[in-house]
Amino acid sequence: MILVTGGAGFIGANFVLDWLASGDEPVLNLDKLTYAGNLGNLADAAGNPRHQFVRGDIGDRELLRRLLAEHRPRAVVNFAAESHVDRSIHGPGDFIQTNVVGSFNLLEEVRAYWGALPEGERESFRFLHVSTDEVYGSLGAADPAFCETTAYAPNSPYSASKAASDHLVRAYHHTYGLPTLTTNCSNNYGPRQFPEKLVPLMFHHAITGKPLPIYGDGKNVRDWLYVGDHCSAIRAVLDRGRVGETYNIGGKSEKTNLEVVHALCAALGELRPGIDYTRQISFVKDRPGHDRRYAIDSTKIESELGWRPRESFDSGLAKTLAWYLAHEDWIGAVTSGEYQQWVDLNYASRKGAA
């Protein structure tokens, strides 16, 4: 069996559901259920005896020790993190606590567990750390895309905390021999993404008649990847990745934020004719330290592991919007409570000019 952390969040839940659908191996899912974790994301796994959920913190050493000893996973896949850049600007403390200290505690317990495994199991064990392209910093328009040897230059408290965890993972391999793998992926979109991130936030605002808040001039570029393609890449790295290596994962789909929002408005307009959603676009104050461009060179994972994204941006977006339209109850549940306070905090201060 494998242990997944953060498996009630956006990517983790999609990974767990794909995992259950594509094999026989059980999965133990450890998640703290922060504002971003939602058991509703795992509704499709309800009643599946191969899925076991435990509510808990990756920083809880005793809990980890017990879970590892009881379940004896052959691999750990670490998705658990605070993941939203804007929240890291308003309050970096939780990012340091989970992404740095939590990852350290997880690594320590995994190291102790792995060190005591019988030889064959120790050799085949894997610790896969899920990270982001944001650790590489910001690119200019003409710069080559990030590759695995690009120097780290994180610019936000979020990306700095993820960079710190990546460095710890690297050190645990180099120093202790822990069989680690690290993936650095570009921006994901797809079903079950919390509506604080660009695509689900714009969808939610569009259908509720609210302004579509574009930070700055809207020309910041991200390399968009459908979440199912990220999950298949992680499975490929877990399966066949070389121990101690890092793999960049991207969608070959660079788009400005304005392009993304226009595509979303057009696709939504086709699904619900009669409304011109672009009229809701509204430019707001920029994010402090806003990275201009991310782009991924995924040559390594493609040539070594034979992975390729299956979805284009258009096909992935169509699937995503269809899912959100069919799950208005999910949106209703996740946008109640704390969500409104976040929207007030993040967007009230951006009112006025771009």
Catalytic residues: 133-134, 158
Q: Does residue 19 sit in helix, strand or coil?
A: helix
Among positions 3, 20, 64, 130, the unique one binding ligand NAD when judged by CB under 6 A: 130
Among positions 132, 150, 246, 257, the unique one binding ligand NAD when judged by CB under 6 A: 132
Residues 49-88 that bind ligand TYD (CB under 6 A): 85
Residue 80 contacts ligand NAD per CB under 6 A: yes
* Cβ neighbours around 59 below 10 Å, total: 18
Residue 157 contacts ligand NAD per CB under 6 A: no
Nearest to 193 by CA among 202, 181, 184: 202
195 interface partner picked from ligand TYD, ligand NAD, none, CB below 5 to 8 A per type: none
236 interface partner picked from ligand NAD, ligand TYD, none, CB below 5 to 8 A per type: none
The DSSP-derived string for 268-288 is HHHHSTT--GGGGEEEEPPPT
215 interface partner picked from ligand NAD, ligand TYD, none, CB below 5 to 8 A per type: ligand TYD
The answer to whether the beta carbons of residues 59 and 35 sit under 8 Å apart is no
The answer to whether the beta carbons of residues 162 and 132 sit under 8 Å apart is yes
For the window 214-243, what string marks contact with ligand TYD as x by the rule CB under 6 A? xx----x-x---------------------
Q: How far from chain centre, in Å, is Cα 113?
A: 26
Residue 257 contacts ligand TYD per CB under 6 A: yes
Whole-number CA gyration radius for the chain: 20
The answer to whether the beta carbons of residues 33 and 41 sit under 8 Å apart is no
Q: How far from chain centre, in Å, is Cα 302?
A: 20
Give residues in contact with ligand NAD (CB under 6 A).
5-6, 8-12, 31-34, 36-37, 57-59, 79-83, 98, 102, 130, 132, 162, 185, 187-188, 194
Give residues in contact with ligand TYD (CB under 6 A).
85, 187, 197-198, 201, 213-215, 220, 222, 257, 287
